[in-house]
């Protein structure tokens, strides 16, 4: 698969336009190779992940955390220096899907919501809204028929043939990439393609989420279930335990900045990572319990889920995808 096609696939799922202003999502290290055969997915761009991925033969490495948030020279012999050297020697690409991934509500960031069976899910901190799109294709009858058959298989798309040479497609928010993917190999020679944003309610995107359990659970039972889902005990519990849990908020990674919004969400439990001392002091006055599950445990599982999604998308193109487990720095 061509490298530019692979990057387009990633950025259709997680557009860079939604990355935070302070972030460095996107290509981290460019290489001269033009084709990807093996894609390695992991959480952190550190030697413990990079070295085995390159030994496996990866020519494109996709991580969550950027290799650096600020440009710097490799002037010291540290992990940053070693990672750059290894990538240059193997002529391998490095790409980070960081906050561009974090804000996408249908992506792997909500794996915990799916595990807990949360319903009525909404965003904690909204950063924007994406709308559906309308497409019109004009071309030869055979081309239009082939495109219509291809698009009809995709959820989130409504396909309307208008005569033999015109096709209209309405894509729900977040589904427009399916249109572009489906027609990427069929558009040559087409007379025209029109696309415009629909004047309809958009879908919110942003950081963190909150939702309702199908049935309320006693706190002790919920905590034991959460431990099983996380496959490890939480790093810390802060606050007064509720009698029962019916509403749960979560922000994988570092979510202390959302504590005020969690209070407004009416959640009894907030699952996140990297809670600091003064954050914990502030939680004592809040009507919810904070479960510090650890930055690593929440996002390691998120990237494992992402690897599965990418494997499904790239397998038809003959691209192998492998997940490379990280190492929890806290043990």
**pLDDT tens digit string along 113-165?**
999 999 999 999 999 988 888 888 888 888 888 888 888 877 788 899 998 88
How much is the average pLDDT of 72-101? Answer: 96
pLDDT interval class at 200 (50, 70, 90): low
pTM for this one?
0.86
Is the pLDDT at 263 greater than 90? The verdict is yes
Residues 170-196: tens digit of each pLDDT: 888 878 877 877 666 555 555 577 777
328 domain-assigned: no
pLDDT value for 301: 97
Lowest mean pLDDT among 33-47, 187-201, 216-230: 187-201
In terms of domains, do 31 and 153 share one? no
Residue 103 lies in a domain: no
Contact 95, 45 (CB under 8 A): no
Residues 215 and 305 in one domain: no
* Residue 33 scores a pLDDT above 60: yes
Residues 149 and 255 occupy one common structural domain:
no
Total Cβ atoms within 10 A of residue 306: 27
Query: CA-CA distance, 274 to 285, in Å (whole number)?
Result: 19
- Arithmetic mean of pLDDT, 302-326: 96
Question: Is the pLDDT reported for residue 197 higher than 70?
Answer: no
Specify the range with the lowest mean pLDDT, choosing from 87-101, 162-176, 191-205, 208-222: 191-205
Among residues 174, 197, 220, which one ends one of the domains? 197
Which pLDDT does position 146 carry in this prediction?
A: 84
262's tokens: 């969690």
- Are 114 and 188 within one domain? no
Q: Is the pLDDT of residue 258 over 60?
A: yes
pLDDT recorded at residue 184: 67
Tell whether 122 and 211 lie within a shared domain: yes
Residue 331 lies in a domain: no
147 and 124, same domain (yes or no): no
For all residues of the chain together, what is the average pLDDT? Answer: 92
* DSSP for residue 56: H
Rounded to 5°, angle at Cα 104 from 185 and 216? 130
Neighbouring C-beta atoms of residue 27, cutoff 10 Å = 14
Can you state the angle between helices 79-90 and 47-56, rounded to 10 degrees? 10
Model confidence at 106, pLDDT cuts 50, 70, 90, reads: confident
Q: Is residue 286 part of a domain?
A: yes
- Note whether residue 330 is domain-resident: no
Q: Give the three-class secondary structure for 172.
A: coil
Do 187 and 307 lie in one domain? The reply is no
Provide the residue range defining the domain that includes 19.
Answer: 3-98+299-323
Residue 182, CB half-sphere, CA atoms under 13 Å: how many? 24
Answer with the one of 146, 180, 197 that is the final residue of a domain: 197
207 phi and psi angles, rounded to 5 deg? -95, 135
Give yes or no: residues 219 and 284 share one domain. yes
The pLDDT of residue 186:
57
Q: Does residue 305 sit within a domain?
A: yes
In a domain, 208, yes or no: yes
Half-sphere exposure of 259 toward its Cβ, with a 13 Å CA cutoff?
24
| Residue 318, Ramachandran bin (φ over 0: left; ψ between -120 and 50: alpha; else beta) | left
Does the pLDDT value for residue 311 go beyond 60? Answer: yes
Could you tell me the CATH number of the domain that includes residue 175?
A: 3.30.70.920
What is the separation of C-alpha 43 from the centre of its chain, rounded to a whole number of angstroms? 12
Q: What average pLDDT score do residues 7-18 get?
A: 90
Give residue 188's pLDDT.
54
| Residue at token pair 């034991």 | 224
Confidence of residue 53 (pLDDT cuts 50, 70, 90): very high
CB 2 within 8 A of CB 319: no
CATH number at residue 234: 3.40.1390.30
* Pair 110, 309: CB distance under 8 Å: no
Q: Residue 243: what pLDDT?
A: 97
What DSSP state is assigned to residue 21?
A: T
- 313, 164: one domain: no
Cβ 290 vs Cβ 223: under 8 Å = no
Same domain as 31, residue 90: yes
Does 229 share its domain with 280?
yes
142 & 258 share domain: no
**33-47, 146-160, 231-245: the lowest-pLDDT one:** 146-160
Q: What is the pLDDT of residue 176?
A: 80
pLDDT of residue 71: 81
Q: Is 329 contained in some domain? A: no
| Closest to 6 (Cα-Cα) out of 35, 26, 49 | 35
Q: Over pLDDT 70: what percentage of the chain?
A: 95
Mean pLDDT throughout 12-32?
94
What's the domain count of the chain?
Answer: 3
Write down the pLDDT at residue 45: 98
């Amino acid at each position: 698969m061509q490298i530019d096609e692979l990057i387009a696939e990633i950025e259709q799922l997680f557009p860079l336009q939604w990355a935070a202003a302070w972030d460095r999502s996107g290509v981290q290290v460019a290489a001269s190779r033009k084709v990807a055969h093996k894609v390695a997915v992991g959480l952190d761009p550190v030697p413990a992940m990079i070295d085995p991925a390159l030994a496996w033969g990866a020519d494109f490495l996709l991580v969550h955390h950027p290799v650096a948030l600020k440009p710097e020279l490799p002037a010291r012999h540290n992990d940053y220096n070693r990672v750059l050297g290894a990538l240059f020697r193997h002529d391998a690409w490095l790409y980070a899907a960081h906050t561009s991934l974090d804000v996408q509500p249908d992506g792997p960031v909500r794996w915990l919501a799916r595990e807990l069976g949360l319903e009525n899910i909404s965003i904690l901190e909204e950063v924007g809204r994406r709308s559906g799109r309308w497409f019109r294709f004009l071309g030869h009858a055979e081309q239009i028929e082939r495109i219509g058959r291809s698009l009809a298989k995709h959820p989130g798309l409504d396909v309307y043939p208008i005569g033999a040479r015109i096709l209209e497609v309405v894509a729900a928010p977040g589904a427009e990439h399916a249109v572009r993917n489906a027609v990427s190999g069929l558009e040559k020679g087409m007379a025209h393609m029109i696309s415009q944003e629909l004047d309809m309610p958009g879908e919110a995107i942003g950081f963190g989420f909150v939702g309702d359990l199908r049935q309320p659970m006693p706190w002790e039972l919920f905590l034991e279930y959460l431990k099983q889902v996380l496959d490890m005990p939480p790093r810390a519990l802060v606050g007064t335990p509720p009698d029962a849990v019916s509403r749960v908020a979560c922000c994988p990674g570092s979510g202390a900045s959302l504590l005020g919004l969690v209070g407004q969400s009416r959640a009894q439990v907030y699952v996140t990572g990297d809670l600091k001392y003064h954050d914990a002091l502030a939680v004592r006055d809040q009507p919810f319990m904070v479960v510090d599950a650890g930055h690593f445990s929440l996002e390691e599982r998120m990237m494992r889920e992402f690897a599965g999604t990418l494997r499904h998308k790239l397998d038809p193109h003959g691209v192998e995808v492998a997940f490379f487990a990280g190492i929890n720095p806290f043990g």
